[in-house]
């Protein structure tokens, strides 16, 4: 792979170009050196991109669904062909361990493209209800705004559904990970999506993202990112009454029930809490343990944390890479310091920059016990390798603690009895509950999304496609 890259480009109406405007450096978080640049394209470029997508929409939504599904399948095949290169690109841009990137940024998005194609073929585009025919069609231009932490998957989750629905897209990916978005858009063009159906603009959230969210030509804004930015996006979109999907943050609880296999459960939760250095919206960052098992849990948690190998994300043995930026490391260390000041005990981790590597924005995996329920580290999303342990007295107490949270994205329940786990799962105020370590990435048609501050709307599967359609009821 090249040491440095040309400036990332915009794609409008099938043509690539680098816009004029303020330049932002793209930093490799492992070497801490500049790997490329991206331009804050601004509102005029956004306007051109929306116009291109609007012009392409009427013909695109008239295409047969079989044709749209076929193109998604072709894009999946191309992503499989180029998967290793794209995974390496993501790993370089934001520090994801290459082994994780291969699975989540190549294999998973290819699976999602194929699953969306299948779902589109079976989708109820026309339904008869009470003497009316409900006709569903792609709603128009979708503004897609995505983050850096699982960048290819997050783009594909929305773009595949929008395109399957017969909508057209303007994507603004994170300014920290513009190159994988460029690579993916090139694959969509190669697959044969017509010019203007999928457009890309580059730039910051505050300028280019905000211009997209506010654009009156959109039918829908689909946003994945932080709560703060999500609120801004929703309020900008509200000015033109544009519909929104908001996939926001999380503070996901993992409830280990008393009858769970303790070692399997704790090891599983530590692994999913620290995945991608904890930079995953559904990372299990609150570990709920029954009081009588607290003492027995300590050694198991320490052993599980010791299995995290920190290092060069390009090395297949690495389990934990650097955080995405110096700023993110500072934020995470600030959270840990605050937790200690609030009375928390660091079971693992130091609260200082990790010494695992001479360069790179590393933080050691950190497990904190003894925090009061109102501590920031219990309440706020940290987005780093930090897990807070919470002790419960009985199952009702576990449910209370799990639900006592401003977020509601996802949760885990661990038990020796799946039915018992399902009963607890049904009481949790979240969009998705995983029992005994099942993984979101192995279920590419199961809807994903949150309640409360984790947002609204769903991605993936039938509901993911429905999000980007309008219904017309025709009666005779
Ligand atoms: P972020 O909110 O800073 O940025 C996300 C995207 O929004 C970027 O493209 C950014 O440029 C853009 N943006 C920022 N401010 C904007 C504004 N005012 N107007 C328009 N666009 C704007 O988030 P991030 O740091 O890139 O990502 C981390 C966050 O994303 C975490 O909170 C994480 O939980 C969340 N996330 C949620 C999901 C989910 O599916 N629920 C998945 C992954 C990440």
Q: Which of 431, 430, 363 is nearest to 403 (CA)?
A: 430
Q: Evaluate: CB of 246 within 6 angstroms of ligand 1.
A: no
Please tell me the pTM assigned to this model: 0.98
Residue-level pLDDT at 431: 98
Task: Tell me which CATH code domain 253-443 carries.
Answer: 3.40.309.10
**How high is the pLDDT of residue 3?**
85
From atom 34 of ligand 1, which residue's Cα is the shortest distance away?
249
Q: Is the CB of 69 under 6 A from ligand 1?
A: no
Interatomic CA distance for residues 310 and 468, integer angstroms: 40
Identify the segments of the chain with pLDDT beneath 70.
none
What's the confidence (pLDDT) of residue 355?
A: 95
Mapped onto helix, strand or coil, the DSSP state of residue 223 is strand
Contacts of 330 (CB under 8 A, 6+ apart): none
Give ranges for CATH 3.40.605.10 in the chain: 10-248+454-475
Ligand 1 neighbour 469 (Cβ under 6 A): no
Q: Is 35 helix (H, G, I), strand (E, B) or coil?
A: strand
Point out the catalytic residue in the list 175, 247, 459, 466.
Answer: 247
Rg (CA), the chain: 22
Ligand 1 centroid to Cα of residue 100, in Å, is 21
What is the location of CATH 3.40.309.10 in the chain? Answer: 253-443
Looking from the CA of residue 232, the nearest atom of ligand 1 is 18
Helix 262-274 / helix 294-306 crossing angle, nearest 10 deg: 50
- The span from the CA of 287 to the CA of 45, in Å, is 45
Residue 467: CB within 6 Å of ligand 1?
A: no
Res 2: pLDDT: 83
Gap from CA of 280 to ligand 1 centroid (Å): 12
Task: Report which protein residue has its CA nearest ligand 1's atom 43.
Answer: 281
- Greatest CA separation for the chain: 73
DSSP letter string over 358-405? SSS--B--EEEES--TT-HHHHS---SSEEEEEEESSHHHHHHHHHSS
> Which of 90, 32, 96, 36 is CA-nearest to residue 326?
32
Superfamily grouping for domain 10-248+454-475 = Aldehyde Dehydrogenase; Chain A, domain 1 (3.40.605.10)
**How far apart are alpha carbons 201 and 199 in whole angstroms?**
7
* DSSP label of 20: P
Cα 273 to ligand 1 centre (Å): 19
Q: From the CA of 455, give the closest atom in ligand 1.
A: 41
How confident is the model over 323-348, as pLDDT tens digits?
999 999 999 999 999 999 999 999 99
CA pair distance 318, 100, nearest whole angstrom: 9
User: 373 an active-site residue?
Assistant: no
8 A C-beta contact, residue 165 and residue 124: no
Residue 348 and residue 386: Cα distance in Å, rounded?
A: 9
DSSP for 176-229 reads TSHHHHHHHHHHHHHHTPPTTSEEEE---IIIIIHHHHT-TT-SEEEEES-HHH
Work out which ligand 1 atom sits closest to the CA atom of 173.
9
Contact indicator for 380, 283 with CB cutoff of 8 Å: no
How does 165-189 read in b/e, with b if 16+ C-beta sit within 10 Å?
bbbbbbbbbbbbbbbbbbbbbbbbb
Angle at the Cα of 203 from the Cα atoms of 201 and 207, rounded to 5 degrees = 110
146 pocket-lining for ligand 1 (C-beta < 6 Å) = yes
CB atoms within 10 A of CB 436: 16
172 Cα nearest atom in ligand 1:
9
SS3 of 126, please?
strand
């Amino acid at each position: 792979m090249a040491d440095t890259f040309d400036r990332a480009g915009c794609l409008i109406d099938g043509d690539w170009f680098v816009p004029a405007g303020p330049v932002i450096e793209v930093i490799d978080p492992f070497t801490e050196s500049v790997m490329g640049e991206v331009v804050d394209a601004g509102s005029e470029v956004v306007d051109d991109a929306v116009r291109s997508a609007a012009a392409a929409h009427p013909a695109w939504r008239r295409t047969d669904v079989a044709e749209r599904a076929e193109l998604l399948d072709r894009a999946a095949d191309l992503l499989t062909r180029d998967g290793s290169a794209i995974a390496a690109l993501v790993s370089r841009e934001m520090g994801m361990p290459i082994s994780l990137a291969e699975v989540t940024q190549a294999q998973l998005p290819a699976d999602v493209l194929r699953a969306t194609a299948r779902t589109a073929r079976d989708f109820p585009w026309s339904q008869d209800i009470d003497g009316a025919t409900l006709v569903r069609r792609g709603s128009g231009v979708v503004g897609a705004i995505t983050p850096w932490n699982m960048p290819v998957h997050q783009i594909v989750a929305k773009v595949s559904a929008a395109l399957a629905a017969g909508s057209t897209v303007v994507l603004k990916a994170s300014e920290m990970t513009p190159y994988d978005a460029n690579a993916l858009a090139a694959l969509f063009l190669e697959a044969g999506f017509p010019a203007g159906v999928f457009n890309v603009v580059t730039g910051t959230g505050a300028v280019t993202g905000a211009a997209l969210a506010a654009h009156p030509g959109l039918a829908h804004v689909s946003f994945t990112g932080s709560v703060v930015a999500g609120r801004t996006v929703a309020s900008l979109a509200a000015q033109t009454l544009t519909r929104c999907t908001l996939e926001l943050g999380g503070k996901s609880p993992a409830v280990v029930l008393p009858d769970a296999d303790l070692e399997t459960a704790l090891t599983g939760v530590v692994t999913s809490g620290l995945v991608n250095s904890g930079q995953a919206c559904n990372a299990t960052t609150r570990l709920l343990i029954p009081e009588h098992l607290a003492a027995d849990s300590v050694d198991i948690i320490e052993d599980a944390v010791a299995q995290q190998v920190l290092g060069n994300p390009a090395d297949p043995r690495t389990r934990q890479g650097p955080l995405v930026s110096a700023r993110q490391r500072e934020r995470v260390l600030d959270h840990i310091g605050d937790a200690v000041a609030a009375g928390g005990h660091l079971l693992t981790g130091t609260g200082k920059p990790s010494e695992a590597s001479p360069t790179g924005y590393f933080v050691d995996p950190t497990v904190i016990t003894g925090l009061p329920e109102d501590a920031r580290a219990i309440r706020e999303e940290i987005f780093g390798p930090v897990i807070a342990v919470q002790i419960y007295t009985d199952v009702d107490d576990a449910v209370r603690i799990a639900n006592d949270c401003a977020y509601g994205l996802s949760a885990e329940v661990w038990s020796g009895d799946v039915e018992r786990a399902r009963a607890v799962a049904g009481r949790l105020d979240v969009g998705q509950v995983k029992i005994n370590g099942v993984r979101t990435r192995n279920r590419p048609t199961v809807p994903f999304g949150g309640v409360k501050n984790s947002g609204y709307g769903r991605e993936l599967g039938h509901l993911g496609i429905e999000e980007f359609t309008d219904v017309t009821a025709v009666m005779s």
